[in-house]
Every structure is written in structure tokens, then in C-alpha cells.
Chains A and B, each alone.
Chain A
């Protein structure tokens, strides 16, 4: 059972969280987006081995946040509130 740091609540057990996808998967707007670009947003994932940056949601408080962790040894290096990068702004 992993411990994840919710930026709002502090460390909590992983069963309280849902995975929200890879960070930086920005949503392209508009009906004219190319099929390739849209399919990339919907389906294509890097699934990195090692260092990852992901979006998670803490279901008990509703906070969506970015978390950096290692997908091999499960070490969590930190988490942060959603920032400019995740918003694409």
C-alpha cells in the first residue's frame, strides 16, 4: 500500500486516490483538430519506465494534482497543485 502526498490533505493511502492520466497530455480544442492529434490525446500514452509525472485525484477531498514518482521502485518524489503545464496555459 503506497502513500501518496495530497497537496491538500498530506500523505494518504493509495486506495483513496484515482489515477487521472499522464501529466502534460493537453487537450486540443476544436472540431478541426486533426484525427492524429485527437487520437494522440485520447489514446496514446508514453507509459514510461522509471520517472513519471502523472495527474491523480484524491477522491476524499476531490483535489486533482500532479505527482512525480518512479514507476519501477514506486518512490514518490513529490506532488504539486495543478500548474500552468497541466492547464496548457
Chain B
């Protein structure tokens, strides 16, 4: 995992860590030489320098050096991340004193509570700062409170970061596990949210403030009291507030020599046992090379030190509050932005709300539960209460040396000054120009110092400068957690044929077509040859094809006929029961939306057959018009696509094969002519036999319950053997239909194609009743003579097929322009030459004309012909 922050990763046996953006290691970094040229590498150095000739030439080297880390592309999580949806009455984010008080109050009132904290152990500041609650020592109170919550069945989540607060009270949390399991994503939708997210201690600006050995004062106290680690022997503490004095005293008590450099003349009011205080002073610069060795004060005094602690005040962690669109207000007293107006259903408590003392934190916690809190007496902080007394200690312009603002993005005070000088005075522009706050910590320690400096330079107040926008996630979240089970084959799951196993057994090679996994061709031989052979054989004898993906949406009811008339471009109410008709569905903008065959089973019952990849969209459209125009009790719609398998027999010998299936239906052409439907039975199950054809040959589409399709398919293959039947994959079917000029919507049409562009102009001129898209067929654009129209394209004898997507071109005013494009193009094994369909400007009037067709710089000639290239009279449909 690249770019993890070392201090926030839990140590584990066998963990391997190494530094990034240092080569080979941080101690012997050969890029460190760049440091000496720092003055020549200001903010936006890359933007300005590597623009010419192309940033992408430089990017890989710079990225490697800038330490974005290395991702192993082959990495796979050992198991899928759990994702849990959860509802509760109150979600409390942060298990410090305020959060615990809020959770305890809500739980006492009988509500279900989730308490989440991003640390391993609850308690927040009470784990390392002194405090008593109702006379009980802080840490003991924390343990007792958590035990009481758990005992009452409340959910307490540790190592769990609430990283996003979204609309309507959805909170996303990422839970880490110590046992090596991948992270768990929680989506919690509480009735009330309490944000007790605390505050983060700010750094203090002085030159070289990024040397190893410089850390926040609170961190030093945490190391001491949580882990028993003394961070230094000779410690200088730089501060502008009271909160640094508890760490200072504790470290002194632990045996360190401690000097506090307090910018306030009198230092803190509280006891200062065992420490030296230099009031009214600030640190000008830290000294040292690979680690801090001492500091120089503003008056020139130097102090030796092996550790410098900084405490520049506290920045409330308002991220989640701001994500909820909460307004912030500047507090001079706290030198920070705090939540101002309350948000419905969201309470803030503790340091994020600007409280300082333990008593205030506990009181605000209980209050933040709002209507979900209990009326039991408030908890009291006892003993010495924390004070702050913060004064501003912002970075100043024109300071000497390198004063680091953003430690992660390496932004200095000078970079901020440069940005302001170049007029990037909006805080959002400052961020993007200098990358201030754009590292993995998103400016949690740096932003306020940066914008205070910008305010100073531009002569504005800090509230006037404002903050950048807070967006999720609060901290980086692994993609594995966000993805959950939606990875690999589950990422965009394909729909599968009921007979997939049978097709695979027959050597079917599968591809995805519009969300369906379908056999592209059979036999496993060379693809091109297999496809050609299937298409050739289908014309000679008989072909079997699985068309189960075709939409089958039933339209039933007393107004069904009127309904399909409105839905279709073609008049459908005149269709006789037992027959079917091909037609277009348009959008109201007149563009062809789908095509297919409508079957009329009886007076009030139709089956809409639509494109395989379009079923959901067609179904939604039918529902829309049904509910909006016809009424729910007049028409009923049922999408039966998945209930039925549709198996097709096509070719000159199709009828003999279907007869051999013994379906009990009369198959003679008088009983079952082309575009008619018959009912039959196979092995006790009802089947529907429709004589419709997408190949141009006599075809029978037989629909049967999907779970009974296997036996029928086996029987078809068995009976087909006597006729040298071939299994047809989708690729060879595409050749057969293109030979006939049959279109595929979305392939042979685009977002402008109207029915008269496809040569079906009858209903446009003749229909008197209303239908979807009608008015749009008479707009200026629809009436234009320059429309792209469907045509066939023929190439000279012996030439290869045109490229699909190739443009028809012509010269006009000395310039070459497109006059349309090739939509489908195949070699026809039956005709022995290529066939192509195209949408060409004024195409219908160009039949016989030879046009230029350009693809990848090569121009060829093609003759415009009718779309149908095979069996122009359509005799084979009845043969």
C-alpha cells in the first residue's frame, strides 16, 4: 500500500515498510541534492518548466521522484471486503469524552447507538490527558462507559473511520481489521448523527520546521502515556497556548529537560513544575541536518535540543460537518473555524464544537444527542480543567529560511507568497497552484496556516479568505473496500443464456453482446473461417440459433391495441390475432429507438419483441406511457424475457426439421405463413412457433419455458443431423442479416436516424392517429433532403470488405467533407463478395453513384446500391 502515513498504520508482525519519494532510502536519498536547488524550484515549477514540448515526456520521472508510490498491478485482495448496511437511532462519530457522553446519553434513553472511532482504543484525549469524570479517573471511566454500551447491545466500532457524510443522513465508514481481513465498508443511516470528531493540533511556523525530531506536543504526550515512549531528552516546546503545558510537565516528570518557548509574554497561567519557560519568544529556525539538533530563537538565542514539540493551537475537525453543508464561523477566541448554524438531525460535540474543558466537552456531548438523549443528570469533569488561551501565531510573509506549511506536499511560506504575487488569491486557486492541502492528509495540519498567511499577504481577514471545500473521503479509503463484491466478473455481471453449458459443449466461443454472454461462433477453429462457414452452410441447408436474448414483453388489456398503436410507428391494431408485424418504436424526437416484431396472440394480448440489449429500456418506456397516458387498469405489461428461451430454426430445410420435432402444430404455409404464429407442445410444455426471419430464409422461432429448453435444443440438434444442420453464432447471423439489408438499431442507425431514412415512409404520410415521435417527423430537420439514409455499398470485384466506420467523403469548395459512414461490413460467403450497409447523405437518391470511402487515410471507391444484396424478391422466406 503506497503512501501510507507511518504513524497511523498499526504495527504487525512481518510488516515490511519502506520510505517513498526517497531513492534508495530517506537517509541516503540521492535526490536530496535537489534540496540545494530549492530556490530554483518554486511553486508551479513543473507547470512552468515542463510545458514544452509535452508534459507527458517528463511526467513519469517526476511522478517517480515525487513519491506517489508504486502500485502492484497484480495485487489481489485475499478475500472480498464486506459491505454492511446498517440502521440505528444515533450514530456517534468519535469516542472521546464528548462522543462517549453522547452515546451514553442516547443509550440511556433507550435508543440504538453506533459509536465509531478511528483509533484502536476509545477515549480520545482521555487516554493521555489528565481528567476525571464524576470523580472517576478518565481512562477508567472510558473503559466502564464502553463496557456499559457493549453490555447493552450497542455497537462500538474501533479502527473505524467515518470518511463521508452524504445526503439524507448516510454516513460511510471504513473499518480496519487487525487480523489481516480486508477492510469493511459500513453504510450507516442513523436518525441522528453526533459529530464528536475532535480537533487536530497545528504546527508552528519557523524555518526548517520539517526536520525529523519535530512533532506535535500532543503526539509526544500520547507516546509517553499510551506507549511509554519518551520522545527526547532535551526538549524544546514551541507554543502559543496552554495545552502544551501538560505535555511539557509530563515529559519533565518523566526525566526530560524541557524548555517552553511561549510566544505569549506570561506563558500559561497553570503550574509549570520542572520546566523552563521563555515567554514572549518564538523559534526563528530549527538547526540540524538529518535530525533536529537545536533551535534559534527570534532574539538570536540558541538552544540545543534533540526534540522540538510544536503546539500552534487546535483546528476543529469540521470535515464531516462541512460535508453536510454545515456553515462555519471564525472564532477569534479559539483562532479557528468552528461550526456555526445547527443542521437538522446533526449534533456537534466536544473540541469540534469549540469546547476546551472536559466539563464543557461532556455537557456538549449529552446535549448533542438532542431529542435522542436521556434526561439523567449531566456528567461532570472534575479536577484541573483544560484552558487554551491561544493567541495567533501564523506564518509571516518574508520570513527567512524555508518555513514549511504543508509537510506532505512540500509547500513553504514562500510558495504561498509566490502564488499570491501571481494573483492566485482565491483559496481554491492557492490550493491548486501550490498543491497546499492536496496530499493524503488533505491539509489537516496545514490548511489553516496556509490561508492565514494568504490572508496576511492579501490584507484580508482569515474568515474573508475562507476555507477550501471539504469533500469525502476524510482519509484515503481502499478501493477494495469501496468495491466490495463488485469486482472481477461481478463488476459488471453479464446476463447468461439458459443453454450456455450446451453451447460450450458444442464448442461455442462466447463474447459479450450488449450485456449478454452469447456464442460468437462455434467449433473453436480460426474465428474468421468458422464464421464464414456457418454463414455459408446456413444458406444451403438449415441453421440452429439461440435467440433467447430477444425481448419478450407482454402487453395485455382492453386498451392494448390502442396502446401498441401509440407506441409503434406502424399501425398495429389492424394486425390479426395469430399474426405478427415488424415495426419501429420511435422516441418523441422522431428518432428510431428500437425495432422488432409485434405478435398478436388474441384481441387483447400482444408480445413486444425488442432488441436484446434494449429490453430494460423498452420495458421502462412502455410502463411510462401505460401509467402516464393509458391508465394502469387499461393495460398490463409483463416482461417475460427471462422466462422463455427462443430457439430458431432457419434455412431451406427449416420446415422439415421443425416437423420432425412433432410439436403438434400445422406447419403448412396455409396454416402457418410467413409472419404468423402457432401454438404447439413439446414434451408436455406449451411452445409458441413464430414464422419471423432475421436471416432472410424461412425461419421458425420456437419459444419454450427457459427451464425446459434443453431437451428441445437437444432434439433440434438430433433432427437437424439428417439435414447437415449448422449451429449459428451471433457473428455469422450478422452476415446473414446484412446480406438482406436488415438493420441492427444503434449499429446501422444513429441518434438522428428517422424511419423514413430507413426507407419506411408510409406511416409518416398515411397515419392519422397519434403515435410516439409523430410531430417530430415533420420538423424542418426531418423534412430536409440532406438526411443520412440507409444504403448498401458495393465494392469492385475481388476487393476486400470496406472498414466499418469508414466515411463516405466528397469535395466541396475544395475541402473534403464526410457524407456519412459505413455501419456494417462483411464478406458474404454465399455471394462471394463483400456486403456493406451505410448511412449516406441523400443516399436514397444516389443509387448507382460511385462515392469515395475513406478509412485511415486510404480512399477507396464504392457504389451506392440498395441495402438488400441477396434474394431481392424475398422468395426464400417462403421457400
Q: Which A residues are within 8 Å of any B CB, using their own CB?
A: 1-3, 14, 18, 20, 27-31, 33, 35, 38, 41-42, 57, 59, 62-64, 73-74, 76, 82, 86-87
Q: Does B778 contact A (CB under 8 A)?
A: yes
Q: Does B785 contact A (CB under 8 A)?
A: no
Q: Specify which chain A residues have a CB less than 8 angstroms from the CB of B624 in the assembled complex.
A: 20, 57, 64
Q: Specify which chain B residues have a CB less than 8 angstroms from the CB of A30 in the assembled complex.
A: 770, 774-775
Q: Check A42–B168 contact: CB distance below 8 A.
A: no
Q: Check A73–B620 contact: CB distance below 8 A.
A: no
* Chain A residue at smallest Cβ distance from B620: A57
Cross-chain contact of B775 among A33, A59, A82, A87 (Cβ < 8 A): A33
Per the bound structure, the CA–CA distance linking A4 and B187 in Å amounts to 17
Q: Check A82–B628 contact: CB distance below 8 A.
A: yes
* Chain B residue at smallest Cβ distance from A28: B775
Q: Specify which chain B residues have a CB less than 8 angstroms from the CB of A82 in the assembled complex.
A: 627-628
Chain B 769-790 interface 0/1 with A at a Cβ cutoff of 8 Å (1 = within): 0100011101110000000000
* Chain B residue at smallest Cβ distance from A35: B779
Q: Which B residues are within 8 Å of any A CB, using their own CB?
A: 166-168, 170, 187, 189, 325, 588-589, 619-620, 623-624, 627-629, 770, 774-776, 778-780
Per the bound structure, the CA–CA distance linking A28 and B774 in Å amounts to 11
Per the bound structure, the CA–CA distance linking A2 and B166 in Å amounts to 8
Q: A33-B775, A42-B588 are in contact. List 16 more A-B contacts (CB 8 A).
A: A1-B166, A1-B167, A3-B168, A14-B167, A31-B774, A31-B778, A35-B780, A38-B779, A41-B588, A62-B619, A62-B623, A64-B623, A73-B325, A74-B167, A82-B628, A87-B628
In the assembled complex, how far is the CB of residue B493 from the closest CB belonging to chain A, in whole angstroms?
16
In the assembled complex, how far is the CB of residue B4 from the closest CB belonging to chain A, in whole angstroms?
28
* Chain A residue at smallest Cβ distance from B164: A1
Q: Specify which chain B residues have a CB less than 8 angstroms from the CB of A27 in the assembled complex.
A: 588, 629
Q: Specify which chain B residues have a CB less than 8 angstroms from the CB of A31 in the assembled complex.
A: 774-775, 778
Q: Specify which chain A residues have a CB less than 8 angstroms from the CB of B780 in the assembled complex.
A: 35
Q: Check A64–B775 contact: CB distance below 8 A.
A: no
Q: Check A38–B628 contact: CB distance below 8 A.
A: no
Cross-chain contact of A74 among B168, B187, B776, B779 (Cβ < 8 A): B168
Q: Check A38–B168 contact: CB distance below 8 A.
A: no
In the assembled complex, how far is the CB of residue B764 from the closest CB belonging to chain A, in whole angstroms?
10
Cross-chain contact of A2 among B168, B627, B770 (Cβ < 8 A): B168
* Chain B residue at smallest Cβ distance from A33: B775
Per the bound structure, the CA–CA distance linking A1 and B778 in Å amounts to 42
Cross-chain contact of A59 among B168, B620, B628, B778 (Cβ < 8 A): B620
Per the bound structure, the CA–CA distance linking A2 and B169 in Å amounts to 8
Q: Specify which chain A residues have a CB less than 8 angstroms from the CB of B776 in the assembled complex.
A: 38, 42
Per the bound structure, the CA–CA distance linking A18 and B619 in Å amounts to 13
Q: Specify which chain A residues have a CB less than 8 angstroms from the CB of B588 in the assembled complex.
A: 27, 41-42
Per the bound structure, the CA–CA distance linking A35 and B775 in Å amounts to 9
Q: A57 and B170 in contact (CB under 8 A), knowing A38-B775, A86-B628?
A: no
For A30, A62, A86, which residue has the most chain B Cβ atoms within 10 angstroms? A62
* Chain B residue at smallest Cβ distance from A26: B628
Q: Check B170–A1 contact: CB distance below 8 A.
A: yes
In the assembled complex, how far is the CB of residue A7 from the closest CB belonging to chain B, in whole angstroms?
11
In the assembled complex, how far is the CB of residue B464 from the closest CB belonging to chain A, in whole angstroms?
24
Q: Check A64–B627 contact: CB distance below 8 A.
A: yes
Q: Check A57–B623 contact: CB distance below 8 A.
A: yes
10 nearest A-B residue pairs (beta carbon): A2-B167, A64-B627, A1-B170, A3-B168, A29-B770, A62-B623, A38-B775, A2-B168, A74-B167, A33-B775
